[in-house]
Structure 1
């Protein structure tokens, strides 16, 4: 595919997204808007994304909103409280509103991630962890994917890590240093859209770690010098795939 044609298709896609032609008036994370105070969003977003994302995203965030509204379960989103909690109490609270689906593994991961946040922050919360890293993606990447990787299962993976950076920017207002390091988060919809646009072959639809890495690198290469960061096209691509690939019409 010629670069000019490809970039024109991306511009059309972005315009369609901006005009609401791809749907997405309500995104999954929007369930927290008006429910979770701005100051608490970093904790709630991060803790909720610490679990395996292989589930319906809308159902996940609706469950998170319910758990936050419930004063008896809101404490699970406080990393310090969650890290020190009785495992049975944490399990009960996470299962109540179906924030956790796996009764043993999910609460264990939740508590481990909470501990990782506390250990990486003077304040014991996500905002403190980001502050300690100077809002620098390169520093956070080193912490979560290398020096403390064992404390951030799932979150340390490239797919969720990059989407977490995007969500923190979009919903919690975090201004990142080294923003160009945010790569696209290649979930199933992104893989399908990438094939549809012709930057990858259908082989990547197997969805292996190698496939996802290849797709992320392909987007970095395709958009280099365009003024767009790969993560800028994530949501339009995701919605385009979810909508069944409506024609790209200027």
Structure 2
């Protein structure tokens, strides 16, 4: 009799545990399904437009997406060969297809490091002092009101360069100068004691990267397509250029024909 009661209790416990396990498994399955569904929706939302949508837009001579280039990634260290992935951005508002192409982007991923050492400092800055304790001299870099949050030092065999992404005008018209406003890149050479400014009027310096073991850089400029004085990373594209440190010139990296072909392919005007 006691054995029979024990078996009944054991079966009851096992049954309860089984029910709990099934409930937990069901909840987990539902959660995973919801997450996968949301992920799928996100993938669809950020993908390129369908052929049907493209046809509708072409009837009105409109487009909603523009090409955007990723940061150069080192693929061949010995020969300093880079690849530039191409992505796209979905605009907040449709625009005419004939409008000037200002669309070019960046997401950092792993790549082999070059031989330089670099350091970064984050905060809320409005100037920078270069101090020499040996002779007691100090030098401020800016004679105007500016705002920046990053100070980056890049070490070379013959020099140390200090780089700052600086806002100096209230382009967003919100009453303050901050990182919502357009930024320019400032480069200070400790050896030459020279400060250089790199920028394009009406654009934002969104990101920059040194080419392998060189002082030349690639710079991403954020394009303010809706002309509100602010670059919006998720809806507005970036233009990528090469900056020659020695002559101070900015040049295009992507050939104009390739740029035009990529945009036409994306918007469906190239058959």
Identify the TM-score tier after normalising by the shorter chain: under 0.3
More strand, by proportion? 2
What TM-score do the two structures reach when normalised by structure 1? Answer: 0.27
The structure showing larger relative contact order (alpha-carbon pairs under 8 Å, at least 6 residues apart) is 1
More helix by share: 1
Question: Which protein shows a greater Rg?
Answer: 2
